[in-house]
């Protein structure tokens, strides 16, 4: 007999749906677009042929339907990797745990996850209102250190760790990369790069309003280590995908060029462009 997960561990709502996402296994497609902003969900699903499922709880909004005949979901994650901890565990539970019996299934199912977000570039030459696909990611949010078996190393991570000068935050770092066999979807993107994911928008990303951040040269230093852009979710999406056996790729709309002090003059227009660009590529 398999061990049953206790009610306190795999928490379900009264209708049997997973606790935060408020979804049943039949409510999601195998291809899922993840966006941060709940308002971006209808902006994506308006392109679907039809939407069959609309469910939400807190910041997690999901629409599932079909596009050119293929089943697809779009879901908002809200901001930050702490939300990604919930999204990835509950999405995985929907496909790899028998929710009725609360037992882990013997057969594994893999999801294709497409983060479609916004970011700030720290490479002065990466222009706003363009798409940047993440190949390597470094998480400075520490989340994956709470999971026993997460380990990842490649040439990028080795060289980054060797040169990273901030001893205070070094213990938080973890790394991951895209699902190589999903990279073909976005091979014609304007930019491919290395992303840093942070547990905040202001000092963690080197922004200083009334409070000082760690170092005035933070952006330049990270760019010198090979980082192209900053955002707040991809490290955990990529790392959980590796750990749980799913496939993920991120493309972000560059809305700020941090080195030049520029912000998009019309990020709604470039968001629309990004949505159409992604939908054209991930569903043939």
11-35 burial code (b ≥16 CB/10 A, e <16):
ebeeeebbebbbbbbebbbebbbbb
H-helix or E-strand containing 110?
Answer: none
154-180 burial code (b ≥16 CB/10 A, e <16):
eebbeebeeebeeeeeeebbbbbbbbe
Please list the residues that pair with 248 across neighbouring strands. 113
Between 120 and 193, name the residue whose CB sits nearer to ligand URA: 120
The reply on whether position 114 binds ligand URA by CB under 6 A is no
The Cα 94–Cα 63 span in angstroms is 15
Least distance (Å) between residue 59 CB and ligand URA: 16
Residues 137-196 that bind ligand R1P (CB under 6 A): none
The reply on whether position 232 binds ligand R1P by CB under 6 A is yes
Residue number of the CB atom closest to ligand URA: 120
Determine which residue in the list 233, 235, 241, 249 makes contact with ligand R1P, applying CB under 6 A: 233
Site string for ligand URA, 182-221 (x = CB under 6 A): -------------------x---x----------------
Determine which residue in the list 204, 231, 238, 243 makes contact with ligand URA, applying CB under 6 A: 231
The reply on whether position 230 binds ligand URA by CB under 6 A is yes
Between 17 and 205, name the residue whose CB sits nearer to ligand URA: 205
CB atoms < 10 A from the CB of 201, how many? 14
Please provide the DSSP assignment of 62-103 as one string: EEEEEETTEEEEEEE--SSHHHHHHHHHHHHHHHHEETTTTE
Determine which residue in the list 36, 139, 193, 206 makes contact with ligand R1P, applying CB under 6 A: 36
User: Considering CB distances under 5 to 8 angstroms, the limit depending on partner class, which of ligand URA, ligand R1P, none binds residue 79?
Assistant: ligand R1P
The reply on whether position 96 binds ligand R1P by CB under 6 A is no
Site string for ligand R1P, 194-213 (x = CB under 6 A): -------x------------
Closest CA to 92 of 137, 185, 30, 167: 30
């Amino acid at each position: 007999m398999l061990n049953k997960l206790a009610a306190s561990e795999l928490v379900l709502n009264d209708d049997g749906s997973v606790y935060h996402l408020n979804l049943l296994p039949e409510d999601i497609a195998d291809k899922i677009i993840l966006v941060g902003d709940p308002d971006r969900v209808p902006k994506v699903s308006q392109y679907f042929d039809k939407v069959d499922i609309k469910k939400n709880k807190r910041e997690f909004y999901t629409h599932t339907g079909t596009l050119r005949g293929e089943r697809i979901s779009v879901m908002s994650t809200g901001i930050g990797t702490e939300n990604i901890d919930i999204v990835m565990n509950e999405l995985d539970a929907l496909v790899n745990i028998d929710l009725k019996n609360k037992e882990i299934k013997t057969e594994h199912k893999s999801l294709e996850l497409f983060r479609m977000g916004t970011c700030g570039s720290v490479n002065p030459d990466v222009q706003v209102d363009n798409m940047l696909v993440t190949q390597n990611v470094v998480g400075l949010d520490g989340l994956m250190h709470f999971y026993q078996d997460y380990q990842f190393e490649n040439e990028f991570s080795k060289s980054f760790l060797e040169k990273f000068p901030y001893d205070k935050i070094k213990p938080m770092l973890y790394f991951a990369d895209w699902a190589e066999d999903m990279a073909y979807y976005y091979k014609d993107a304007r930019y491919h790069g290395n992303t840093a994911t942070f547990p905040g928008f202001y000092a963690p990303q080197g922004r200083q309003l009334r409070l000082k951040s760690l170092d005035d040269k933070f952006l330049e230093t990270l760019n010198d280590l090979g980082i192209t852009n900053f955002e707040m979710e991809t490290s955990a999406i990529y790392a959980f995908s590796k750990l749980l056996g799913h496939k993920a790729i991120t493309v972000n709309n560059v809305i700020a060029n941090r080195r030049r002090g520029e912000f998009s003059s019309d990020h709604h227009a470039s968001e629309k462009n990004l949505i159409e660009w992604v939908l054209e590529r991930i569903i043939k």
